Amino acid sequence: MTTTAPAPTGTKRASATGAARPRRRPRVLHKGSIAILLAPFGILFALFYVLPIIFAIGQSLLVVRREGTFGKAELVFGGLSQYALVFQNEAFWASMLRMLAFGVVQVPIMLGLALLFALLLDSPLLKGKRFFRLAFFVPYAVPGVIAAIMWGSLFSPNLSPFTALTEKVDFLGADLVLWSIANVVTWVYVGYNMLIIYSSLLSIPSEIYEAARLDGAGQFRIAWSIKIPLVRPAIVMTAIFSIIGTLQLLAEPQVFRSFSSAVTSTFTPNMTVYATASIPNSNLAAAFSVVLAVTTFVLSFGFMKWMQKKGNA
């Protein structure tokens, strides 16, 4: 009796695997056209972003040296001596702490209001959406300087029409002037952040809401369990923009200097940079700017990483 042994499957698999060709990387077509389209952005980015950073770093490493009282001033390499002055400047670090306190309080309130307004505009129960959309966004169309002048006049006992209130509450005093400025910033930028979050809400497929309603979910449940989690990337982005904007605050407190003596020339980090450059001491101002930029990057990048870990947990 003759039997036929089956062919070893392992050999076939091995040969089939060995014969498999390595994957090729997809070819990028029209590289020249892509380079031409990206060239304007690349050139402008290098001219107005990269080169100023390099120039500022270079300036921060120089010091002015004079020989004698009336000697000619010349720039020489000073190493990290300007940065030593930055870290010894108590007013600068006090302004940093002031802005951190400002951001911890003002940013959550502003983004909370922006989220609330965006949810209201996205709600099918709200009537007159065009009016409210315009009303929420109009303050952002007002320049920050004009908004600061307007609110500063309202807070001033000598200029405000609400003298009964401003005489009792010193909005421009040392204890409240920071939060008066926070009120201006919140009033201006709530609409801008609301628009970003609202645009993200509009991109959510309506089928998700319909399925939730079939399951018996109400408007509040849909907003809390569906809308807010899905617009989380937009909220994180607006939070990062707000962190950067907080540390760069300049126009509003600069205007408030004409209304309140509590706002000094070193009230915010950017005001310290501006005042130092006006002395003029552009090299020390450059060192202040570099430290401020690094601090801003660390805080915003750290917040982004923290939110990513929190989202993956």
pLDDT digits (tens, 9 = 90+) for 131-153: 988 899 999 999 999 999 999 99
Do 185 and 137 lie in a common domain?
yes
- Of the two residues 15 and 76, the one the predictor is more confident about is 76
Question: 2 lies in a domain?
Answer: no
Q: Which of 252-256, 262-266, 278-282, 289-293 has the lowest mean pLDDT?
A: 278-282
- Of the two residues 21 and 248, the one the predictor is more confident about is 248
The SS3 assignment for 179 reads: helix
Closest to 149 measured CA to CA, from 58, 74, 259: 259
Question: 72 lies in a domain?
Answer: yes
CA–CA gap between residue 268 and residue 66 (Å, rounded):
31
Q: Per-residue pLDDT tens for 286-297?
A: 999 999 999 999
Do 239 and 296 lie in a common domain?
yes
pTM for the model stands at 0.83
Contact call for residues 225 and 217 (beta carbons, < 8 A): yes
> pLDDT confidence of 232, banded at 50, 70, 90?
very high
Question: 297 lies in a domain?
Answer: yes
Which residues in 175-202 are b (16+ Cβ under 10 Å) and which e? ebbbebbbbbbbbbbbbbbbbbbbebbe
Question: 16 lies in a domain?
Answer: no
Handedness of CA 132, 134, 140, 145 (dihedral sign): negative
Dmax (CA) for the chain in angstroms is 119
Question: 74 lies in a domain?
Answer: yes
Do 74 and 145 lie in a common domain?
no
CA–CA gap between residue 276 and residue 279 (Å, rounded):
5
Domain range for 66 is 33-79
pLDDT above 90 covers a percentage of the chain that reads 66
Question: 25 lies in a domain?
Answer: no
Q: H/E/C letters for each residue in 223-284?
A: HHHHHHHHCHHHHHHHHHHHHHHHHCCCHHHHHHCCCCCCCCCCCCHHHHHHHHHCCCCHHH
Q: Last residue of some domain: 59, 79, 99?
A: 79
Do 61 and 142 lie in a common domain?
no
Question: 26 lies in a domain?
Answer: no
- Name the H helices within 20-89: 31-45, 51-60, 81-88
Do 72 and 147 lie in a common domain?
no
Do 145 and 280 lie in a common domain?
yes
Do 38 and 163 lie in a common domain?
no
CA–CA gap between residue 29 and residue 26 (Å, rounded):
9
Q: Pseudo-torsion of CA 48, 53, 56, 62, nearest 10°?
A: -130
Do 69 and 188 lie in a common domain?
no
Do 58 and 106 lie in a common domain?
no
Segment (H or E) for 65: strand 62-65
- Looking at the structure of the chain, the number of domains it has is 2
Do 137 and 273 lie in a common domain?
yes
CATH number of the domain that residue 179 is part of: 1.10.3720.10
Q: Per-residue pLDDT tens for 69-90?
A: 666 778 888 889 999 999 999 9
Segment (H or E) for 90: helix 90-122
Do 60 and 91 lie in a common domain?
no
Question: 21 lies in a domain?
Answer: no
Do 75 and 100 lie in a common domain?
no
Q: Supply 148's token pair.
A: 């600061």
